[in-house]
Amino acid sequence: MKKPHNIHQFFSGSCEFRIGAMNYDQIPESRLPEVAFIGKSNVGKSSLINALVSKKIAITSKTPGRTRQLNFFCVGEKLNLVDMPGFGYAKVSKTEIDSWEKLIYRYFANRVNLKKAFLLLDARRGLSEKDIEMINIFNAVGVSYQLVLTKIDELKSDELEKVVKEIAEKSRKFAAQHPVILMTSSERDIGIDDLKKAIVEVM
């Protein structure tokens, strides 16, 4: 796959919603490189995806009924972007959580065109048990992934340094992890270009 010359142009070009897959059979076949975004509810995922493509696309994922779907978007007909809404969401039943987790697991275990998963972490909260569960899945099925801190504008630089150090220490033992933790703020437009570069790198 040819990498785009101008990443800014690429990400601000077309971005179309393709499908919200509620079960495994609805996941569309594709040969395009794919990246997935996952994180706990309220981590700032919609804001980050919107900042990435300079459009309010991720609002789609918040439409009632779509919060338990894998939402597929196509960027510039060259890249698939998958928005995986809110894991660790407390307000749903155990059965719903189970079927959602099974769907996510099957997706990660079988998606051959998936290049990288971005696991989003709220900078104020660090790495939770639920995030570690997700990391264990990535490692079990061999998905390469990268941690992305969100809302870094909420922390002072020394606080941020401490959080990054803690996360790096806790997650060092995981083999499939990209060594660089991306630091972002959608609100202040920090780290969005680094995220763009990290995506283009794997295309």
45 part of the interface to ligand GDP, by CB under 6 A: yes
41 part of the interface to ligand GDP, by CB under 6 A: yes
Q: Tell me whether residue 30 is exposed, middle or buried, using C-beta atoms within 10 angstroms of its C-beta: 0 to 12, 13 to 18, 19 or more.
A: middle
Under 8 Å between Cβ of 117 and 139: no
Q: How far is the CB of 33 from ligand GDP (least distance, A)?
A: 23
Position among 121, 151, 192, 203 found at the interface with ligand GDP (CB under 6 A) = 151
71 part of the interface to ligand GDP, by CB under 6 A: no
Around Cβ 24, how many Cβ atoms within 10 Å?
Answer: 13
Q: At what angle do helices 129-141 and 94-110 cross, to 10 degrees?
A: 30
Position among 101, 187, 193, 194 found at the interface with ligand GDP (CB under 6 A) = 187
- Of 34 and 83, the one with the shorter C-beta distance to ligand GDP is 83
Q: Which stretch binds ligand GDP (CB under 6 A): 43-51, 155-163, 167-175, 191-199?
A: 43-51
Q: Give the whole-angstrom CA distance, residue 40 versus residue 122.
A: 9
Q: Which stretch binds ligand GDP (CB under 6 A): 14-22, 30-38, 44-52, 73-81?
A: 44-52
- What's the N-to-C CA distance of the chain in angstroms? 6
Those residues whose C-beta lies under 8 Å from the C-beta of residue 158, and which sit 6 or more positions away, are none
- Residues in the interface with ligand GDP (CB under 6 A) total 16
Residues that bind ligand GDP (CB under 6 A): 39, 41-47, 86, 150-151, 153-154, 185-187
